[in-house]
Amino acid sequence: MFDSKKIDSFFEGKSQISRIDNDNKSEKSFGYRFIKLGFPCLAAALLGIMIVAPNIRKKIDFGDTVTLPKKSEIEKLHIEESVITSTDKKNRVATVWADSVDEAAPGADELKIITPRAEIPTDNGIVNITSKDGLFNRENNLLQLINSVEALGEKNTVITTEEAFYNFNDDYGYGVKDIFAVGDWGTMQAQGFTFQKDISVLTLKGKNNIKTDKGNLSSSKETKIFQNENKLEAYENVVLKQTNGQTISADKLIAYFEGNGKKEVKSADAFGNVKIVSDRGTATGKQAHYEAAKNRIVLQGNTVITSEKGKAYAQKSVYHTLTQNAELFGKVTIKTDKGTATGDKGFYDAAKQVVDLTGNVTIEQNGNFIKGTHAHTDLKTSVSTIVADKKEKSGNGRIHGTFYNQRKD
């Protein structure tokens, strides 16, 4: 063990060194003070680095620019132009560069980073991230980027925000502040985000909005973009406003896209409280399936088409997006302020606001019933007309019904 008293006596006692010539006393005493004070400090600094360095789980390349610590940082790690690297499950190396790195406190797991720049490899290329400041936690390998964060991501997407995190252990990024993004998927805004590197899924959190040249999609909970699958999922209060004037809303929307550049919708499924609104009326149902190639939406589950003066009810409706006409199937019922008409099938002409019913048609008005094979209901005037189809063998080309005389009492 070291005897501190002997060391002090060696430097401070009246030894033979203290009896040298007076001419050399000043120069020698400066040398002794350096040995006494500087060497232990330097040894302590080197010992500190030896203690701290093994705790850095990710490889840090010190380069050739390690600087001596300042007086107030004598026990803290300080590195100029540092490099931090990390290897993912597929043996791809992610790299973080910084102008300088400092321990937040002596021996602390948290490092302060000035001007961090990161390259994170993914299945679709490289995600490049920059910011003005940052923090790196060596214990959980968490990188925090602060102030003017910009990420050039997959599929030509550029994301900007004021704060973002990336966990190198889980290959997972996230942020809880407002973000703005532009890319192949459109112009995006949200209250936060997550990024799952292993499956290439970007999630817009909170109230979010995606705008393209085809329309505008918004939701109140989150929208997930599956970049490898060309798929999008939006949840809660989903509203799709199209440039043709139609609006589709639902509780949940799943859309599939095609195209390597700007995305074009190939098909979509909507679930829960589905509503289609246009200048010619409204169609609702429990769920819907959209086919872009056929320009149609298939509504299912107690569908309703509402026009100016009436409603058409059916189990299933095929809504044509270009003409806004609709085919109705399964217990079709037309209700107006003058009565009710029912049939097996129906066709709604949106421009004329007229419904044609076929198959077991019945019209009821003020307690009177009339039956036939074909009916025509004008939803603007609430007038229904029934006719017999001579080609229909079961009806023998006849109309029949039940009528009641109206009495004053």
The predicted-structure confidence for 226-284, as pLDDT tens digits, reads as follows 988 999 999 999 999 988 888 999 999 999 988 776 778 899 999 999 999 988 889 99
More confident residue, 208 or 368: 208
66-73: Cβ within 8 A, 24+ apart = 69/45, 73/102
Three-state SS annotation for the chain: CCCHHHHHHHHHCCCHHHHCCHHHHHHHHHHHHHHHHHHHHHHHHHHHHHHHHHHCCCEEECCCCCCCCCHHHCCCCEEEEEEEEEECCCCCEEEEEEEEEEECCCCCCEEEEECCEEEEEECCEEEEEECCEEEEECCCCEEEEEEEEEEECHHHCEEEEEEEEEECCCCEEEECCCEEEEECCEEEEECEEEEECCCCEEEEECCEEEEECCEEEEECCEEEEECCCCEEEEEEEEEEEECCCCEEEEEEEEEEEECCCCCEEEEEEEEEEEEEEECCEEEEEEEEEEECCCCEEEEEEEEEEECCCEEEEEEEEEEECCCCCEEEEEEEEEEECCEEEEEEEEEEECCCCEEEEEEEEEEEECCEEEEEEEEEEECCCCEEEEECCCCCCCCCCCCEEECCCCCCC
More confident residue, 46 or 384: 384
Average per-residue pLDDT in the chain? 80
More confident residue, 389 or 136: 136
Count CA atoms within 13 Å of residue 105 on its CB side: 2
Q: Which range among 29-38, 135-144, 335-344, 348-357 shows the weakest confidence by mean pLDDT? A: 29-38
pLDDT value of position 341: 92
More confident residue, 361 or 392: 361
Look at residue 178 and tell me whether its pLDDT is greater than 50. yes
Q: Which range among 52-61, 117-126, 183-192, 342-351 shows the weakest confidence by mean pLDDT? A: 52-61
More confident residue, 44 or 215: 215
Instruction: Using a pLDDT cut of 90, give the percent of the chain over it.
Output: 43
Q: Which domains does the chain have, with CATH numbers?
A: 1-55 (no CATH), 56-201 (2.60.450.10)
pLDDT value of position 179: 96
Band of the pLDDT at 86, cuts 50, 70, 90?
A: confident
pLDDT value of position 367: 78
pLDDT value of position 60: 41
pLDDT value of position 116: 92
pLDDT value of position 37: 45
* Pick from 52, 64, 151, 152: nearest CA to 102: 52
Q: Which range among 10-24, 220-234, 298-312 shows the weakest confidence by mean pLDDT? A: 10-24
pLDDT value of position 329: 95
pLDDT value of position 408: 44
CA distance 95 to 17: 54
Question: What's the whole-model pTM score?
Answer: 0.74
Average of per-residue pLDDT across 196-209: 94
pLDDT value of position 107: 75
| CB-count exposure of residue 244 (10 Å: 0-12, 13-18, 19+) | exposed
Look at residue 47 and tell me whether its pLDDT is greater than 70. no
Q: Please say whether the beta carbons of 255 and 288 come within 8 A.
A: no
Average of per-residue pLDDT across 390-401: 54
